[in-house]
Structures are given as C-alpha cells and as structure tokens.
Structure 1
C-alpha cells in the first residue's frame, strides 16, 4: 500500500528494531476516531503486512488522559435508506480485519471507551496504566453496543460485558478491575507504560517471525473455530511457521536464563 508514514494527519508513526509504534494523535479530541483516522489505520495495517522490517506493533494514544474515546461525534456518516445495508466504516480500524497477523500490543494510557474496543478486541494483549478506565456509553446515547460488546466478550466474562455495556456511561471499570476480569494482561504505573510495552514488543520481535505469526494465527483460530476445527489446522500452521529441526536445536542450546515473573 502507498501510505506516507511520516506525514499522517491523525496518527504518529515510529519504527525501530522490528517494533512499530502507532499513536492515535488527536489529543485535543481525546484521540476520538474520525473518518481520516479510520482510513489511515486501515491503510497502515495493509502496508505493514508487507513490511518485513516490522515484526510487532504497539498502539497507544497521545497524551495521558485518553487512549481513545471512540467515534468522534462530529463525524457524519451517510447512511442508505434501507436498514439492511448500514454503512459502518469502523471495523476497518481493526488489524485482523485487514488480515494483519503480526502481534499487536495495545498500551492504554487513560480512557478507553466505545469504538476503542475495536482495537482492544483485535490485539494480542493489553497493558494498562494504573489510571486507565474502560466504559461503553452506547446505551446511554440510545445506541446498541453491537460490535463493541462482541469484541469485549472475547476477553471478558459475559456478566462483566453485560454490566459494562448496559450501565453505559454511569460506571467505569478501573485498570485493576480490568486486570482481574482478564481484559488487560498487566497494570503498571503510568510512567512505566511505554517502557513495559516496549520490553514486551522487543522480546517478541527477536523471535523468528514466521513462528510468531503462526502462533498468532493458532491463537485466533482456537478462538474463532470449534476445538476440533482448530486442532485440524494446527499441524499446517506448525509446518509452515516452524524453523528446521537443526535450527531449533541450535537455538535451544544457546538459550538464555534471564526472565521476568509477572
């Protein structure tokens, strides 16, 4: 895809040592999503599929007040008169929608609500600053939480999703509660958020890329298919992405002993 990553209107893009940082860059609007951001994210995901220098992507928001507060309410989307053909460009912001199977880490640095769950729902895992909050105001505004609730159900128990979506803007989930129910994998002080996400991304970027991408595909296949269907795909993913046996043994012999305990 032909996209100039150095001149994006709504995103900030940096890349180093196999890790790309994508920052939602509309802090004056709490990084709310407009039509330009939708197109820039979609085109960026398509471009990164073909960029072998990028092995891992970290997504965060500019500033420390909000990761993303959903669709910018100033956006007007023309709708057809038929209810059977609704026009919803929002799914395009998800990396899996664009068939991107490189790992995506989301670093939540404040409020995350509404359409932010398209991104949280299609990433590999979420790291949150301790002041992060999560809520879904759709029902408060008379809207159905359709895509958002479905994305949330992939990470949270049904009762928690029902409470979050039905209470709308009247209740927010704090970072620690989000960790307890599985929405996020780690909570860190705000000052350590970027460093923590960078460490995880750099570790993953050092692994053989085909093995990493095959593992990502396996994880999502297990979620999207029945158990039997997913297991039938596993041999093919393993054969496609694994290094030759001799190289595996070489890497095993050279393994280090340093690790973190979370």
Structure 2
C-alpha cells in the first residue's frame, strides 16, 4: 500500500508497551504521528499487560545511581481488550525485551493480531520480540546493531539485514537488493505446521528499524509512502528534524562490527 494505492491510508494505530521499553523507540515515532494527527484523522491505542503505568525502567534492575530517573506511561488498553480493528501496530525495543516472562503475553497478542493488520512496524530490538513468535520467519528485517548478536538468535529463520537504517518487507513489491545476512531456509524452531506462524501474516508489510533513533527515520519514510511526500516533508520541517532518507545508510553496522557491513 502506497500513497497511490486505492485503499485509504490507515487511521487506527496501536503501540505495545512493557516494563523497560526504550523511551525514544516509542516517543520518536509517536511524536511524528502526533503531528500527523493534526492534519489526518488517526487514533492511538496504547496496549500493555495491565492498565497500570508502564515504566521505562527495566524490570529486576538494581540501579542505585538513578533509581527514580524513568518515565511511566498509562496504557489505554490491555492485551485482552485491545481494539480488534487496528491497522498499524508498533513494537518498540528496550532492555525489557530480555524479560522472557513479560514477553509471553506479548507473543500471544502478536500471533493473534498481526495477521489482521495492514502494517507492522518494529523499532530497535522490537524486531526480536516479533522474531520470537515466528512471524518474521523468511522475512527481511533489521535491528539494533549493538544488540545484533542477541537479536539474530531470537529468529534463526529471519533474513536479517546487517546494514540498514530501516528495512521494508512488503510482499506486494519486489525485495530490495540490500545485503542480507542470516540463516533463511533453516527449519524454524518456532514454526507450527507447514507454513509456520509466519504463514498467517505473509501478506502483511513489515517495516523494521535499526537502533533507537532510527525509528524516527523509519516513521518518516512510512509517512512519506503511506500519506505522501508533502506530509512527510512538512512534518519534518515543523519538527526541525533533518532525517535520513536513504534506508541503506548505516554507519553503526561498522561501528558495532556487524557482518556484511
């Protein structure tokens, strides 16, 4: 789906929160969408395990230096009562992605929800969370380069792209020539049935960004493709943000020694 598509642009957004989410993974994309909401009719559902405020502070962390320095966000929905008609879902990353216990309800929600979406967007290590479900099997994706070694182990069947600011895997268009590393073609440990979990979402365009701030560049690329260049350029100028528009720009792959860079 592009700005030239006959389908109207999406209106119903959701974002997942969990203890220890990375603040900029969430607020970078959301602030741009906040501004988009001034010119377009869009809505946002903030989804978490409960309606209690969710902290950026990672769970089970004993940090005596700045124990009170964190932000908390109040969800609007739980995984049980989230709207069933979401069109775009954003999955952030952060240290909290390492909490396997907290990821269990998220995995269940993703498996249920992603097949009904129009777009799935992941930021930073949010791609690891999706990869753990099997929904990224045989799909192209990127992630935080500092966390590369851990992330790729979460999805051995994902076609991980080592050098990319963001990656678009859209089944309706031909794949990019961006360099890919990974183990695509191996039997997935998370597959169920012949096609695996990924088969249920094979028609969904999946956007993934590199680490943290890269989510801002990805969301502007998304806005440009879905809502038009004029909207993307106008919002970037209002926010005074000089964005990277080349999806292959990625000096951090070399900095963090990611293969293929």
Normalising by structure 2, report the TM-score. Answer: 0.36
Greater gyration radius: 1
- Structure that is richer in helix per residue: 1
